[in-house]
Chains A and B, each alone.
Chain A
């Protein structure tokens, strides 16, 4: 065994103070394997040591919350005796190093988090960020990463048999060296059949199930806790390889084993593998765990205890069974052709004791290891930003051409090329799939459906992290309201740069506080999530990118489409035309795509008004008055109008507006709290809006084949739908086929 030298400690990314804490906990120098175990459990990825202090500010309780943060996934009550388990998780670093496997195992990891709680996954969504596809220097690599990530997600999800029902995909130069791959999964279980990751019952056997352990992914968690440098590509062996077929078998076997009643607790082996699952289950159960590594199924020969404990081989689970009933569990796993071996026992001494050939190689108190990781109150100053406050002079030469540029831009163009590679309907629960405001999956066992939306806007957060995070919550809730759903709970993925830089730490702190405020206001407690820090390459950080995933409830019914259905209907802008000035226009897609600039501030949000718009919208849908509905976000009114017109019926609209705003702002500003809907009964819509204190001007009439916008008699935009739609539909594929 190697002696523990300062070099070895620093190679494990542990500080001197952290090392001293280890020595104090153990009352002695750690053994080599113990050092490895501490280093992964106390990595940023596993311990949240920089963010934990601030994460506590997030609301975690609510009337529907059955399980908040701290388990493998959050759980909410969805009525009729059923619950939904859901969470979002990032696989940013692995996806940069090896896009296909990085993204695939990201899907695999979050799926295990869901079914380890006893819930069958019924929906996956993803939030992706890449560098621009036509970037002169990095374009080719960005295109390759996008293609790899999308095929990785498709490969894993399609084979596993979970529908990928939606998501978002955004491009910015700051993601050139650091793409983001955040995957959300949701599953459903009966309320009385939830399983927790707790090792209870002294003397109960600890059972290893699933794939064999290999040398892959060792120190994956530590890799995800460091910045990238030129050498990072050499970390490719740290990325795990996924096998969705094995995961599908593991899912069925685990759910079947749970039904026997012999399973006491269960946890997946994700980041930090066997280490994390053993000590966390012991810590939560207030127990000790003793395992013998000789019994761990191994794919390779000669693996050391260090390697076995730190391996991140995929598709493995650890479970604790009731003593004397092991055979019931074994029988199920045998049926599915999977390894299931008793590797240890639950003890009463609170220690994680690891043996190899009968010899103790690690002996660490579970609670201290899992829950007493260092906690840092890192210094934070003013959030980093390098963008002017004032607007440059600008003016449009051709507003119709601007609109075409926007609908054909990386962010706003159709993502069909991406989502058609995902099986978005397997399990036949998909009521509304990709391409709309929110995805909807029904729960067949009840009359309830779940609506899900993922949102995050790095530009907004870069200009003002607090306001940007509030806007993300608002937009997520608005997306749900647009399909008639009531938001009930949330999960978050906080993607930031290096927290050891005070101006980056400030971004994180302000974003969390803004999110906390908005989640409290909209009554969407955060039931869990993920923090991904050190998203920097060669000192270049990403925009602060908090991503929200919010789940809402609605009655199962034919969904309200986003596209206009018929000509001659009134077009209502629920929430009104909204306000904006040149300073707040600097965060818009217009500023980005048409002007190539970023300045000023994100749009202003009035949360009270936003909420009123949502309740009005839900009532309008419940009354059956909306023939179509689509929320205004990136690209503002004109882009929303175009998107509403791209339906199979090719019904557009003629808008006639009365506004003082200059045309660029009127058409393209991104003030929140606005939803564009079409209705045959504008008077009844107006009556509902009035009751909720919400403006609802009729701004035009739907019309076949065209998009026309006139303000105070001045024609601003005139386009045939066919022409504009072809720009929208073909843009992504065209960019991907460059060189």
Chain B
């Protein structure tokens, strides 16, 4: 399976995602530059963490105008799996592929630490290989990761089983402890924690692998 890792100017977890897929998952990965108009036939897209375009104005706000995002939108509309991690999640929210917003952490500070999150649904191509209720330990590293949405959106997410992950101990003030959500079609996932930073024992946890493995399984079945 081939993963495409989008590289915006200012992405800085692009290499980590590439490394996790290539070395620790054992699948193909290639970088896609932000001014690409197509995705070159990849099977899944990763929007990595970082500070796309410096995150000026608002996190992810400028990235949504980049040429590659039109291609990503088309890819998602055709059912292709899109995984947005950290800044990638912020970009997905900014460009409307996912609802809600990510605002500054409740303590107004950048927080880097491993956190525990619970898998809330296994009905997605990103979590199918996990067990319902399974608790994963993944690092967070963000200043603006507090998930925010109006009540109606939150109710809708809950009703449609689209909350993919919840924090066991809420680090940033996210409403309803939300750490990651799915789109209605369930082929787009955004989450603030970094699964790519937990893909081998030396990183302190391998719990993130289950997300990538789920994507591989879904990709194989989908074919």
| A residues neighboring B (CB under 8 Å) | 151, 154, 158-161, 243-246, 248-249, 336-337, 419-428, 431, 442, 444, 556, 558
Contact = CB atoms under 8 A, between A and B. Distances in A.
Contacts of B19: 428, 444
A424 B16 CA distance: 14
Nearest to A434: B112
20 contacts: A159-B10, A159-B54, A161-B12, A161-B51, A244-B54, A245-B10, A245-B51, A245-B54, A248-B9, A248-B12, A421-B110, A422-B110, A423-B110, A423-B112, A423-B141, A426-B49, A428-B197, A431-B202, A556-B202, A558-B201
A160 B55 CA distance: 12
Closest 9 CB pairs of A and B: A161-B12, A245-B54, A423-B141, A159-B51, A428-B16, A421-B110, A423-B112, A154-B110, A245-B10
Contact of A425 (B111, B141, B143): B141
Interface in B121-166: 139, 141, 143
B113 A420 contact: yes
B193 to A, nearest CB: 12
A425 B86 CA distance: 14
Most buried by A among B109, B139, B201, B202: B202
Contacts of B16: 426-428
B194 to A, nearest CB: 8
Nearest to A248: B10
Nearest to A154: B110
B112 A424 contact: yes
B135 to A, nearest CB: 15
Interface in B102-126: 109-113
Contacts of B197: 425, 428
A161 B50 contact: yes
Contacts of B109: 151, 420-421
B110 A158 contact: yes
A253 to B, nearest CB: 10
A99 to B, nearest CB: 15
A422 to B, nearest CB: 6
A243 B54 contact: yes
Interface string B184-198: 000000000000110
Contacts of A431: 202
Nearest to B33: A335
A640 B112 CA distance: 25
Most buried by B among A425, A428, A431: A428
Nearest to B171: A420
Nearest to B16: A428
Given A245-B10, A420-B112, A428 B203 contact: yes
Nearest to A147: B109
Nearest to A249: B9
A558 B199 CA distance: 14
Contacts of B111: 420-421
B68 to A, nearest CB: 14
Contacts of A420: 109, 111-113
A232 to B, nearest CB: 29
Contacts, number: 76
A428 B49 CA distance: 13
A444 B12 CA distance: 17
Contact of A426 (B9, B12, B54, B202): B12
Most buried by A among B9, B19, B113, B199: B9
Nearest to B10: A245
Given A420-B111, A428-B196, A160 B9 contact: no
B220 to A, nearest CB: 26
Consensus secondary structure, chain B interface: mixed
B15 A427 contact: yes
B67 to A, nearest CB: 14
Interface of B: 9-10, 12-13, 15-16, 19-20, 49-51, 53-56, 109-113, 139, 141, 143, 196-197, 199, 201-203
Contacts of B9: 245, 248-249, 336-337
Contacts of B50: 161
Contacts of A244: 51, 54
Nearest to A253: B9
B56 to A, nearest CB: 7
B112 A422 contact: yes
A151 B109 CA distance: 8
A667 to B, nearest CB: 32
A336 B20 CA distance: 25
A97 B103 CA distance: 31
Contacts of B143: 158
Contacts of B201: 558
A426 B110 CA distance: 14
A425 B139 contact: yes
A556 B201 CA distance: 12
A426 B10 contact: no
Nearest to A427: B16
Nearest to A557: B202
A448 to B, nearest CB: 13
A63 B25 CA distance: 39
Contacts of B110: 154, 158, 421-423
A246 B15 CA distance: 19
B200 to A, nearest CB: 8
B53 A442 contact: no
B110 to A, nearest CB: 5
Contacts of A422: 110, 112
A426 B51 contact: no
A243 B53 CA distance: 12
Most buried by A among B10, B13, B203: B10
Contacts of B53: 245
A245 B56 contact: yes
Nearest to A120: B15
Contacts of B113: 420
Contacts of A336: 9
Contacts of B12: 159-161, 248, 426-427
A423 B141 CA distance: 6
B15 to A, nearest CB: 7
Contacts of A427: 12, 15-16
A107 to B, nearest CB: 14
A243 B19 CA distance: 27
A294 B53 CA distance: 29
B48 to A, nearest CB: 10
A558 B203 CA distance: 9
Nearest to A161: B12
B201 to A, nearest CB: 7
A174 B110 CA distance: 30
B112 A249 contact: no
A269 B12 CA distance: 24
Nearest to B201: A558
Contacts of A558: 201-202
Nearest to A428: B16
A21 B188 CA distance: 69
A562 to B, nearest CB: 15
A558 B197 CA distance: 16
A159 B19 CA distance: 20
A161 B55 CA distance: 13
A442 B15 CA distance: 15
Contacts of B202: 431, 442, 556, 558
B171 to A, nearest CB: 10
Contacts of A161: 12-13, 50-51
Contacts of B15: 427
A419 B110 CA distance: 10
Nearest to B108: A151
Given A160-B12, A245-B10, A427-B12, 17 more contacts: A159-B10, A159-B51, A159-B55, A161-B12, A245-B9, A246-B54, A248-B10, A249-B9, A336-B9, A420-B111, A422-B110, A425-B139, A425-B141, A425-B203, A426-B13, A426-B49, A444-B19
Nearest to A423: B141
A442 B143 CA distance: 26
A125 to B, nearest CB: 15
A421 B107 CA distance: 11
A712 B16 CA distance: 54
